[in-house]
Amino acid sequence: MGNQSLVLDEKLNDKPNETLIGRTKGFLDKDEGLRLYQIALAVSRRGPCLEIGSYCGKSTLYLGAACRENNSTLFAVDHHSGSEEQQPGEGYFDPETYDIRQGRMDTFPIFRQTLIDGGLENTVVPVLARSEVTARHWATPLSLVFIDGGHSFAAAFTDYNSWAGHIMPGGYLLIHDIFRHPEEGGQAPHYIYKMAAASGLFQVMPMTKTLGVLKRMECGELPEDLPVI
């Protein structure tokens, strides 16, 4: 109760900040972002949320707003040195994310400014590390995991393998950039989406554009197609 006044002050900014979201770099569609917000608002009272691939903080603004509203926490995991397709010479390279002194990409300063501008410093815990390094000793059940990291098969599988087991019963696994056909985009997110669905441990919910939504079965819940004999 010690920080109650702080919490009350922040209630003034509960909803996702659309103006800030509009000028934040990123590849998240508004409808997808609002779905993230709605799901996080529904479940983040039960436990913290975690996102992989924060980049400059666009998804963080949606998930963070929901966690702030519920006095929950969002762990925002990113090494901030960019994924494969964001490196110099690649299709998604942005010169503004390149740090000349380091000689490599560094999106952390931009991400940090997004947290400050969005009033999320008391809600979001930035984790400046690779996903699998962060997961190595992780032991906290999560109400929501959002995978939006590297799009190679190795990166996507590593994210799925590292985090899917930490989702609490009734929690959500959200996967971005799912394209059902190779001509639409990379197939790695779709690959892990299908793995999660085939596990039988998740209920496949309607997608929003390229956002896949899977709900971890509650304890005692049975799938509709379970054999009865």
State whether residue 94 is helix, strand or coil.
coil
**Beta carbons within 10 angstroms of residue 202's beta carbon:** 22
Contacts of 100 (CB under 8 A, 6+ apart): none
Is 217 within 8 Å of 164 (Cβ atoms)?
A: no
Residue 38, token pair as written in the block: 């709605």
Task: Output the CA torsion sign for 118, 122, 123, 125.
Answer: positive
Identity of the residue, 51 or 148, whose beta carbon is nearer to Mg ion in the bound complex: 148
Q: Catalog residues that contact Mg ion under the rule CB under 5 A.
A: 27, 148, 176-177
Q: Which of 80, 151, 176, 190 is catalytic?
A: 151
**Least Cβ distance, residue 159 to Mg ion (angstroms):** 12
DSSP secondary structure of 8-70:
HHHGGG-S--HHHHHTS-----HHHHHHHHHHHHHHTTSS-EEEE--TTSHHHHHHHHHHHHT
**Cα dihedral 208, 213, 218, 222 sign:** positive
| Residue number with CB closer to Mg ion (70 or 111) | 111
Q: How far apart are CA 134 and CA 191, in angstroms?
A: 23
80 catalytic? Reply is: no
Return the number of the residue (168 or 213) whose C-beta is nearest Mg ion: 213
Measured from the CB of residue 55, what is the shortest distance to Mg ion in angstroms? 8
Both tokens of residue 113?
A: 């400014």
Q: How far is the CB of 113 from Mg ion (least distance, A)?
A: 20
Q: What is the largest CA-CA distance in the chain?
A: 66
**Of 156 and 167, CB closest to Mg ion:** 156
Nearest distance from C-beta of residue 183 to Mg ion, angstroms: 18
Question: In the bound complex, what is the minimum distance in angstroms from residue 28's beta carbon to Mg ion?
Answer: 6
* Nearer to Mg ion (CB atom), residue 33 or residue 47: 33
Active site residues: 151
